[in-house]
Structure 1
Amino acid sequence: MKGSNLIAVFMALMISCVNPYKILGVFPVSFKSHWVIGHSIMKSLANAGHEVHVISPFPLKTPIHNYNDIHLVYDNDLELGNMFIREEYPPQKHMSLLSDLGDFLSNFTLSHPNVKALLEREKHFDAIIVEVFFFEALYGLAAHYNCPLIGSSTFSTSKWTNDLTKAPMEYAYVPHNFVKFSENMNFWQRTYNMLICQYENLFMEFYHYKRQKRIFDFHFGHTGKSLEDVMKSAALVFIYHHFSVLSIRPTVANMIEIGGLHVDKPKELPQDIKEFLDSANDGAILFSFGSMIQGMDLPAEKRDAFIKVFSQLKEKVIWKFENETMLNKPDNVMISSWIPQRDILAHPNVKLFITHGGLLGTTEAIIEGVPVIGIPIYSDQKMNMLQAQNMGLGVIMEYKDINEELILRNINQVLKKFEYQNNAQKISKLFKDRPITPEQSAVYWVEYAIRNKDATHLRSAAHNLNYFQLHLIDSYLFVLAVAGLVVYGLYRVVKRVFGAMLRSLRVIKVKND
């Protein structure tokens, strides 16, 4: 590194650490994929010299300097069961389940002895970072400590992020996260998307937020603030998004894209996996349903279909499978209950990723330029995979249609058509082409919000308008009323004129008679 670059790096580190801040992160969901994003933000802040405290169900395995765990210990209330049954759930069912989860997590977190001890022990934080995911009552921690509130979304934009920032919701070309539409919707899709989004508006306003307000008032009534006040005061919202890989969405100044933040440089693979992949002279396939969905929960007939197809391939396969044994496992298949997914995708012999379409795994595949076959099950997975398919990164294989013939056809299609590999490499370059890294962006904007006292100048004026004003309903009604009066006035004038003319004609007729 040149001397000037060394000086620049040294000065940047010194500036970051001259005024280290004390920051609390709250990520109570016991879904590993959700925690990874929150952890990545807090780890970036700790590495920048700030003192971070993190409330989560995932204690660090390896200590990080400046990083303090506040461990949430769960019982069995959050057992998810077989996630494959959720494939048929409509969006309304997902909203209801998430609202119940948010109600439980809000009460559980704020009543947890470790959190109570933290609130008693720590009298000051410079900022609070809370995951945006149906537990809005936890935003009250920012009111309790009288410091900036920063949201962190594991999705792209959503009703939940936009309620904090007042970014516009464009139902005509922004599909709801729980439907399998792209931005190019036909009439029926746009209509359905609009109805689902309006249903969510009503559900959140008249059911979910009311539940959260009760929890907020119970725990944070002493602050003199309401949940609405705290939500309006949100300084920033991080969204796990990058415009190169997901449809363009309307954002406002305090919505910050940090897509790819969780992806570190690839590490050395475990010896057995490394040897397995190094010997894959014809290429390798990674097959994983992520951290929340268990591959062993696949119905027997679908699991057997994959086994039969894999046995016919010359490529080797690494399959995330939670049992130590698999009946009729082919010799070219390695199974493991845990895999270093990000590091495997970075291996040059990996040519295909069969995935459920979770945002983290999809992002890792995009960064490494690996095409995908998506088997979306629930939530945003369907939208993620439809976007990947539309961009030529891979194909969707519907869970309900899985059979031996379909699996083999899709694998051959993606592996043998060079455009999938070419498109994956092209999108990878676009995704990585940024002025600063996601880590630098996250650290900068947190420090910015603290330095500039909540960054109130970034907030949209839409916060000052009620629903009718924001959507111009009052203006439309006024214009319609004026138009109606004008039409009515013209009608009366025309009626009077024609009436006079008719009376005149009658008089003339009588005289002539």
Structure 2
Amino acid sequence: MWTTLSFTLTVLSLVLLSCPSSDSSRILVVPVDGSHWLNMEHILRKLHSRGHEITVLRSAKSWYIPENSTVYTSINIRMLEDEEDLEVYNRMLLDVIECRKKSRFIRSFCQQYEITKLLGKGHEILANSAALLLDDPVFMKKMHDAQFNLMLTDPGMPIGVILGSYLKLPTVFNVRWINNGESHFAMAPSPASYIPISGTELTDKMDFVDRVKNVLFYIYSQTELQFLIYPAYSNLMERHFPPGTDLLSLELSADIWLVRADFVFEFPRPTMPNVVYIGGFQCQEPSPLPNDLQTFVESSGDHGVIIMSLGTFVSALPRKATEAIAAAFAELPQKVIWKYIGQQPTTLGNNTLLVKWLPQKDLLGHPKTRAFVAHGGTNGMYEAIYHGVPVVGLPLLFDQFDNVVRLKERGAARIVEAKSITKESFLEAVKDVVENPSYRENVQRLSRLHRDTPMSPMDTALFWIEYVIRNKGAPHLRAVGYSLPWYSYFCLDVAAFLLVILVALVCKKQQQKNKKKNNKKTLK
């Protein structure tokens, strides 16, 4: 009897110890599709395992977010995916390649203009989508009745920001990009003298010409915000929020910003108390490869394998580029696994395996992987750092150019251009990265630094999400500077006041001098 009771108590203790420590809460999630969803999903799975109830708002035409899931309940709403398809980004790639043919100073502005055209249309769609939600009494009643405890959203698409603010929910951002640039530019001091503006492809070590470019880019981005993005939401703000509210003020009211960055990769810069860094949180130790891939990898012998993937959006490079890449791969002693969709290159070698999908993390973590040919997406860069694999960067769109510059600055990557890629240039870059030990040594040093933390990025993210739930927000971490008018923030009113006093004193002093001169003349 006592043995049975003891066994029962032991099992019960183990069950209780394995239960999540945080009380179950209702979390409303508004994600961004594409690669952004891939990392949001990791957080949702962890939250679900800790007993939280999750509701995800998604488009019925979502590219990657499943409608049915064991992790969350989904509600379909109108989002960007209802109006745009992945071909938009493939067409944009061709325009960006043309931009890359211009001078180094001009091409960044050309690329940003292409993004501006996309942003203009995109924010109009998102503003209309948010208005449809707030104007729908049935939907809003459903949201109120659900009694959510938290809004978890990626503010790259601000529907979650608007809805969470309207529902007065504590809000946590899973963020790197916001509106038209990197999130720090919205919520932290960002001196243009050493903080490179998103899209400039600059480092934190700028000469005079670089700083001119950086300042001009800052002016461009602020103009874009004030005259293109914020006005798209002005009608919505007037109808549903207190006077003076704008999109930026809603964004700055977030309790915690979980920023997908690590200063092992990013350049050091000012930050804020409610910013928590979780760069690389989606990374994990590799799992065994599928049998067919394992056999292919093992067949590489001591030469090892090279992995190539260009991410989730762009399905294929221009034909000329893919032929050049395939021809270069064919001359390497390594085996190559290439995530590729499209017509097979005619120059494809016997050492190259084309696949429509590959287990990227597991391949990067394999000891035979020698290099990673990547477009420079944030997820891929952190996975390369985590597993200590050097990179051949082939940036195509958006932040990818800045990302590969950061890794190149750390001595862990080479960059090749899609606009001018040839078999010879690509072959030389890959051979250099594979054969020059400095690239692997540098990225493995970054890997050690990235892993050397008291708490994993994922555990850090979970702690702060549940912190906000437990405390019903974190307003004590928000700086009062967010609510100051711009002239007070920069102390221009104080400067004007002191200038008036100085002018008054100078005038008074001058009057006294003139009076003394006049008195002397009178005495004479």
Class of the TM-score when normalised by the shorter of the 2 chains: 0.7 to 0.9
| Equivalent position SS for 1:448 | helix
Name 1:168's counterpart in structure 2.
Answer: 189
2:272 is paired with a residue whose SS is coil
Aligned to 2:381: 362
Distance 1:84 1:290 in 2: 16
Corresponding position: 1:211 with 2:244: no
Q: Distance in 2 between matches of 1:192 and 1:36?
A: 34
Q: 1:126 aligns with which of 144, 149, 161?
A: 149
Judged with a 3 Å threshold, the aligned counterparts in structure 2 of structure 1 residues 160 and 318 are, in CA distance, closer, same or farther, namely closer
CA gap of 1:423–1:222, structure 2 versus 1, over 3 A, is: closer
1:290 to partner: Cα distance = 0.9
Shift of 1:418: 0.8
1:93-112 equivalence runs, <5 A: 93-108=114-129, 111=132
- AA at the equivalent of 1:198: I
Structure 1 distance, partners of 2:346, 2:403, is 32
SS at match of 1:400: coil
Distance 1:35 1:499 in 2: 80
Distance 1:245 1:226, change over 3 A: closer
Shift of 1:379: 1.9
Residue number among 421, 429, 432 corresponding to 2:448 in the alignment = 429
Matched position secondary structure for 2:213: helix
SS at match of 2:204: coil
Superposed, 1:334-413 pairs within 5 Å as 334-413=353-432
Alignment of 1:51-200 (within 5 A): 51-56=53-58, 57=62, 58-60=64-66, 63-65=69-71, 67-71=72-76, 74-75=81-82, 77-78=84-85, 79-80=87-88, 81-82=90-91, 83-87=93-97, 88=99, 89-108=110-129, 111=132, 119-122=140-143, 123=145, 124-133=147-156, 135-155=157-177, 161-162=183-184, 166-200=187-221
Code of the residue aligned with 1:23 in structure 2: it is I
Partner residue in 1 for 2:37: 35
Shift of residue 84 of structure 1? 4.1
Structure-2 change in CA distance of 1:277 and 1:70 (3 Å):
farther
**Could you tell me whether the CA contact under 8 Å between 2:393 and 2:414 is conserved in 1?**
yes
Which has the higher mean CA deviation after the structures are superposed, 207-216 or 347-356? Answer: 207-216
| 1:109 CA drift (Å) | 6.1
SS in structure 1 of the partner of residue 21 of structure 2: helix
Compared CA separation, residues 144 and 478, structure 1 to 2 (3 A):
closer
Letter in 2 for 1:125: F
2:281 to 261, 273, 295: 261
Q: Is residue 247 of structure 1 aligned with residue 267 of structure 2?
A: yes
Shift of 1:493: 5.2
Residues in 1 aligned to 2:13 and 2:185: alpha-carbon distance in whole angstroms: 43
- What TM-score does the superposition give when structure 2 sets the normalisation length? 0.84
**Aligned-residue offset at 1:476:** 2.7
Are residues 52 and 241 of structure 1, via their aligned partners in 2, closer, same or farther at CA, if it must alter by over 3 Å? same
Q: 1:477 maps to which residue?
A: 496
Match of 1:330 in 2: 349
Distance 1:15 1:444 in 2: 11
Residue type of the partner of 1:85?
A: D
Structure 1: unaligned runs, 5 residues or longer = 1-5, 508-513
Question: How do residues 411-422 of structure 1 correspond to structure 2 at under 5 angstroms?
Answer: 411-422=430-441
Aligned-partner residue type, residue 98 of structure 1: L
Tell me how far 1:215 sits from its aligned partner: 3.3
What are the superposed Cα offsets for residues 447-500 of structure 1, whole Å, 9 maximum, x if unpaired? 111222221101101023111111222223333344444445555555666787
Over 3 Å counting, the alpha-carbon distance change for 1:408 and 1:480 in structure 2 is farther
CA gap of 1:325–1:149, structure 2 versus 1, over 3 A, is same
Question: Secondary structure of the equivalent of 1:319?
Answer: strand
Partner of 1:238: 258
1:271 and 2:294 aligned: no
Q: Contact 1:143/1:225 (CA < 8 Å) preserved in 2? A: no
One-letter amino acid of the counterpart of residue 95, structure 2: I
- Classify the secondary structure of the residue corresponding to 2:460: helix
Distance 1:131 1:246, change over 3 A: same
Q: For residue 259 of structure 1, report the CA deviation from its aligned partner.
A: 0.9
Paired with 2:350 and 2:311, the residues of 1 have a C-alpha distance of 23
With over 3 angstroms needed to count, the CA separation of the structure-2 counterparts of 1:425 and 1:223, relative to structure 1, is same
Classify the secondary structure of the residue corresponding to 1:428. helix
Question: What SS does the corresponding residue of 2:84 show, helix, strand or coil?
Answer: helix
Moved more, 151-160 or 464-473: 151-160
Separation in structure 2 between the aligned mates of residue 251 and residue 7 of structure 1, nearest angstrom = 43
- In the alignment, what sits opposite 2:105? none
Instruction: Verify the 8 A CA contact 1:20 1:51 in the aligned structure 2.
Output: yes
How many percent identity over aligned positions?
A: 26
> 1:3-42 counterparts in 2 under 5 A?
11=17, 13-16=19-22, 19-27=23-31, 29-30=32-33, 32-42=34-44
AA partner of residue 438 (structure 1): P
Per the alignment, do residues 9 and 285 of structure 1 end up closer, same or farther by CA in structure 2, a change over 3 Å counting?
Answer: farther
In 1: Cα distance, 2:336 partner to 2:296 partner: 9
For these two proteins, the number of residue pairs brought into alignment is: 490
Does residue 46 (structure 1) correspond to residue 48 (structure 2)? The answer is yes
User: How far apart are residue 141 of structure 1 and its match?
Assistant: 1.6
Q: Is the 8 A contact 2:151 2:172 kept in 1?
A: yes
What TM-score, normalized to structure 1?
0.86
Alpha-carbon spacing, 1:483–1:146, altered in 2? closer, same or farther (3 Å): same
Partner SS, residue 52 of structure 1: strand
Question: How much does 1:102 deviate?
Answer: 2.7
Counterpart Cα distance in 1 of 2:318 and 2:181? 32
Cα distance change, pair 262–111 in 1 and its aligned pair in 2 (3 A): farther
The letter of the residue matching 2:183 is T
